[in-house]
Amino acid sequence: MKFIAILMGSKSDYEIMQECAKILENFKIKYELIITSAHRSPQRTKDYIKEAEKRGAQVFIAAAGMAAHLAGAVAAYTTKPVLGVPMQGNALASMDSLFSTVQMPSGIPVGTLAIGKAGAVNAAYLAVQILALNDEKLEKALKQDRKDKEEKLIADSKSVEVLL
């Protein structure tokens, strides 16, 4: 069974990463969501990745704050696409988690998204786009989602427009 694996470094990331899960649910994509840490539970992280791959994980989405090494740790253990979501934090105004996620060594890529909620939402959409490469039904659903967003924007504009 194909699915997306969502990993979070701590429970404090859950509220933001629920937004990621909601997008996957909207597209009827199966997912798993767990809390694991590159630092506090490295063996759990490694074991989960290996087992998830065997069970059909197609994309890994990893969210973490501060040192944010979770996405890099995931990428070290898999050749599946890894999407990193740096989380917001107080220390260094979230720049530490952004730099830790985006600055990966050559050959171990992590697709890094925006910090926080926008990153969580876009990670889900990017994961859907990756799956849609081999799924015409999913591709059509993505196109419809874009059309729906455009129609909503136009309706919102008409509700406030002042034109000459």
Residue 13 assigned ligand-binding role? yes
Average pLDDT over residues 131-158: 97
User: What is the predicted pLDDT for the residue at 93?
Assistant: 65
Q: Is the pLDDT of residue 90 over 90?
A: no
Beta-ladder partners of 5: 32, 60
Residue 157 assigned ligand-binding role? no
User: What is the predicted pLDDT for the residue at 91?
Assistant: 63
Determine the distance from the C-alpha atom of residue 156 to the mean position of all C-alpha atoms in its chain, rounded to a whole number.
28
For 139, residues 6+ apart whose C-beta sits below 8 A from its C-beta are: 132
pLDDT digits (tens, 9 = 90+) for 113-135: 999 999 999 999 999 999 999 99
Read off the pTM: 0.93
Per-residue pLDDT band for 94 (boundaries 50, 70, 90) equals: confident
Mean pLDDT of the chain: 94
The CATH topology of domain 3-135 is Rossmann fold (3.40.50)
User: What is the predicted pLDDT for the residue at 96?
Assistant: 78
The tokens for 98 are 């952004």
Residue 55 assigned ligand-binding role? no
